[in-house]
Amino acid sequence: MYQYILDHLPNKSSFRFVDNISSLDENGITGDYTLRENAFFYEDHFIGNPVTPGVILTEIMAQIGLQSLGIYLILNGLKEIKKDGDRTLFPLLTATDVSFYKIVLPGQKVTVISKKEFFRFGKLKCYVEMLDENKDLVAKGMLAGIIKGAAKTKLS
């Protein structure tokens, strides 16, 4: 569901942390991600007892709760920034205030629920929660970012 949003995410391959978007409108988004047991960050964090780093949990929250919602708002023309065929959208995280309550282990699925606080002048601010498979709170906080357009470049 919502594949067109996933297709516009700037994150690819080993650094895309969105599997599914289950609900999405101009006020918020819900999506999920299952942590891959062979993810690169588990090698050394921590040896013999892998735990998902907080920065990765924050990134999952940002990719689902801020980037995906921001792309939706832009592509649906709800605000002043217009989609430009010669530009790529880059939602950039500018501020975080996240508290963590539980650890997340390899193979666990997390769900992110984001509610828009405001979106104006290309800046998006959201209240975001992350839940585990039991619906227990893993993390919550405020995330903010800006939506930038970057000219497409060809790699040679």
Q: In this structure, what CATH number is given to the domain that contains residue 97?
A: 3.10.129.10
73 or 138: whose pLDDT is higher? 138
Number of structural domains (the chain) is 1
Closest CA to 141 of 132, 129, 152: 129
Does 115 reside within a domain?
Answer: yes
Judge contact between 143 and 125, C-beta under 8 A.
yes
* Total length of the chain: 156
Does 88 reside within a domain?
Answer: yes
Please determine, for residue 154, whether its predicted confidence score (pLDDT) is greater than 90: no
Does 156 reside within a domain?
Answer: no
Q: Could you tell me the residue range of the domain that residue 142 belongs to?
A: 3-151
Does 132 reside within a domain?
Answer: yes
* pLDDT tens digit sequence for 35-76: 999 999 999 999 899 999 999 999 999 999 999 999 998 888
Q: What is the mean pLDDT of the chain?
A: 87
